[in-house]
Amino acid sequence: MQIPSAIVEPAIAASIVYVAAENFVSRDVEKRWRVTFCFGLIHGFGFAGALQEFGLPRGALVPALASFNIGVEIGQIAVVSLVVPVLLLVDRLLAPDRRTGVVSHRPATAVYAISAAIVGLGSYWFLARTVLSA
């Protein structure tokens, strides 16, 4: 099953905008796995379409997509293993009581600023794949 890139690419951009915009209305990350799963499928269709454009035979598509996804996951683990210690250090430095390291309330400024930037970039990508490409 192949979904045209004219549908998949704007859907990927819209999913990125949705998740970033959700940070403005909800901080409940416990339920995000459902949304992440659905959007992961959309992104998977995008990767599959891109791999098919390389001219891979249909029989090689699943192993190629699996290998690509494993590589992406390894890359994400590497980035997270570098970023999380830095974020924990920043958390400790911003803690009201530095002796205990307890943060009673984190300012949401950074979350909102980064989310706004992602909404802007994702919206541009969405418009570039729909309105601006016509």
pLDDT digits (tens, 9 = 90+) for 38-53: 888 787 777 777 777 7
Show me where the domains of the chain are located: 5-129
Q: Are the CB atoms for 131 and 13 separated by under 8 Å? A: no
Residue 9 neighbours by CB under 8 Å, 6+ apart: 46, 129
Q: Measure the CA–CA gap between 103 and 81, rounded to whole angstroms.
A: 22
Q: Measure the CA–CA gap between 118 and 110, rounded to whole angstroms.
A: 12
pLDDT of the residue at 65: 75
Q: For residue range 12-33, what is the model confidence (pLDDT) as tens digits?
A: 899 899 988 988 887 777 777 7
Q: Are the CB atoms for 104 and 96 separated by under 8 Å? A: yes
Does the pLDDT value for residue 128 go beyond 90?
Answer: yes
- The pair of structure tokens assigned to 74 is 């390894």
Does the pLDDT value for residue 116 go beyond 90?
Answer: yes
pLDDT of the residue at 81: 93
Return the closest-CA partner of residue 119 out of 130, 129, 111: 111
Q: For residue range 50-108, what is the model confidence (pLDDT) as tens digits?
A: 777 777 777 777 787 788 778 888 988 999 999 989 888 877 776 666 555 555 555 67
Q: Measure the CA–CA gap between 122 and 61, rounded to whole angstroms.
A: 28
